[in-house]
Amino acid sequence: MSTVLKSTMIRGATPSVKAPMNKASKDTSGERNIDSLQIGMNWFDERPGGLDRMVTALIQSLPAQGVSVRGLVAGTENVRASTNGVVTPFAEADAPLMKRLLAVRRSATEMRDARKPDVVAAHFALYAAPVLGKFKRVPKVIHFHGPWGDESAHGARGQASAGARRALERHVYQQGDRHIVLSQAFGTVLQKQYGVKADTIRIVPGCVDVNHFSTGVDQHAARTALGLPQDRPILFCVRRLVSRMGLEDLIDAMFIVRQAVPDVLLTIAGKGPLMAALQARIDHRGLSQHVRLAGFVADEALPLWYRAANVSVVPTVALEGFGLTTIESLASGTPVIVTPVGGLPEAVAPLSSELVLEAGGFQALGAGLSGALLGRRKLPTEDECRAYARAHFDLPVIAAQTAAVYREAIDSY
């Protein structure tokens, strides 16, 4: 890149929260209280996903940074009830596309007329596209969670659909006054693929609720609770079961790991269109006693699964901007091995370069995981993992950085 992307600084003081106002006001600490409208995709409790987890986390944590929030997502009326009216479900996620687009535009207009926000934060291009034009004199911050069009090209949809999505993304991203990316890698994507100016891009990494994952349960108790064996080295991976996640490579790598660690057990959690193909691959490789597909694992149970493992793994082969599962694992006290793809190295290398594989592919995965289990790779301790996650990715830390970008967008408008 020709220009170094700027990373926001963490604010030292946490401002008190006042009632939302039309114009940004100031609290006693000197920071402005601002009113934000958050345009998301789905509500995490109803349709879990990385983007949805981030939006939910920000809606919950931004008020402590002096940023009041109103949200718009696709979902049921349960969303409105469970958030005490903070988040408005404009239409159900399975509603016809045109109905959703008209509904989000109508809901956004009603919210603007009731109280114009100080800043609009858009997280999903499809739902932002019919909305942003309604806020012509309001600063806009685009949260770039990943190249939607490119991601769809890795799925079942055709190239024509992917091309239309890229065009829509470009239209939306060009309207941003500031752009928040999860990593330097995604900043490069935003600049080169979508023509976004580098001086509008700010790096704010993903966040997790460290307290949720740092349960204090030890490995023995976690395995007991999950019915896992106490006497086997255990690997854990949680991913959507689609091709870009590298799960085929991971299964092939387990053939190598088994040679070095005969009693190893890998559990892959998640659901997706590759479920049957992955199970067939496991059976064909003769790994049915060493690799298990656990299906969907509820968010409440994830801390136990991470804690039960000796090591977790993120084997992604493409389009990984950050990888929230890396920080979830570290917050649980379990080291994580990642491929050198996208923003994954940025997330974990400052803690230990040993967490990043030298290359992608099943051979590098096999060698790296074997080395981790056999002690040939020096991995950080449980306490080091948790301390790193808390210092750099806990909710208050990332909420403060996000609030700083919102205020910058308002100041520069």
**Straight-line distance from the first to the last Cα atom of the chain, in angstroms, rounded to the nearest whole number:** 25
Q: How confident is the model at residue 318 (pLDDT cuts 50, 70, 90)?
A: confident
As a whole number of angstroms, the distance between CA 90 and CA 70 comes to 12
Q: How confident is the model at residue 68 (pLDDT cuts 50, 70, 90)?
A: very high
Superfamily for 6-207+394-412?
Answer: Glycogen Phosphorylase B; (3.40.50.2000)
Q: What is the mean pLDDT of the chain?
A: 90
Determine the average pLDDT of the residues in 322-341: 95
Helix, strand, coil percent values for the chain (each to nearest 5): 45, 15, 40
Q: Is 4's pLDDT higher than 50?
A: no
Every domain of the chain and the residues it spans: 6-207+394-412, 210-392
As a whole number of angstroms, the distance between CA 60 and CA 55 comes to 9
Tell me if 297 sits within 8 A of 239, measured CB to CB.
no
| β-strands 234-238, 140-144 pairing | unpaired
Token pair 């977790």 is found at 312
As a whole number of angstroms, the distance between CA 408 and CA 172 comes to 20
237's CB contacts (< 8 A; 6+ apart) are: 247, 250, 266, 267, 268, 269, 312, 313, 314, 315
Specify the range with the lowest mean pLDDT, choosing from 147-156, 239-248, 347-356: 147-156
pLDDT of residue 147: 85
Determine the average pLDDT of the residues in 296-303: 93
pLDDT of residue 152: 62
As a whole number of angstroms, the distance between CA 117 and CA 114 comes to 10
As a whole number of angstroms, the distance between CA 176 and CA 172 comes to 7
**Which strand (E) or helix (H) includes residue 308?**
helix 302-308
The first and second tokens of residue 116, run together, are 């114009």
Token pair 């750099």 is found at 392
As a whole number of angstroms, the distance between CA 9 and CA 408 comes to 12
99's CB contacts (< 8 A; 6+ apart) are: 91
The first and second tokens of residue 163, run together, are 């091309």
Other C-beta atoms within 10 Å of 68: how many?
Answer: 20
Residue 208 dihedral angles phi and psi, to the nearest 5°: -140, 155
**Which strand (E) or helix (H) includes residue 296?**
none
86-to-69, 70, 407 alpha-carbon distances in Å: 7, 5, 21
Determine the average pLDDT of the residues in 260-283: 97
Domains 6-207+394-412 and 210-392 share a fold: yes
Superfamily for 210-392?
Answer: Glycogen Phosphorylase B; (3.40.50.2000)
Determine the average pLDDT of the residues in 123-152: 91
Tell me if 144 sits within 8 A of 190, measured CB to CB.
yes
- Report the percentage of the chain scoring pLDDT > 70: 90
pLDDT of residue 215: 87
pLDDT of residue 154: 53
82's CB contacts (< 8 A; 6+ apart) are: 45
pLDDT of residue 86: 97
| β-strands 178-181, 140-144 pairing | parallel
Q: Is 246's pLDDT higher than 60?
A: yes
Residue 269 dihedral angles phi and psi, to the nearest 5°: -100, 140
Annotate 161-220 with DSSP letters as a single string.
HHHHHHHHHHHHHTT-SEEEESSHHHHHHHHHHH---GGGEEE----B-HHHH-----HH
29's CB contacts (< 8 A; 6+ apart) are: 13, 14, 15, 16
Other C-beta atoms within 10 Å of 57: how many?
Answer: 20
Q: In a 3-state reduction of DSSP, which class is residue 291?
A: strand
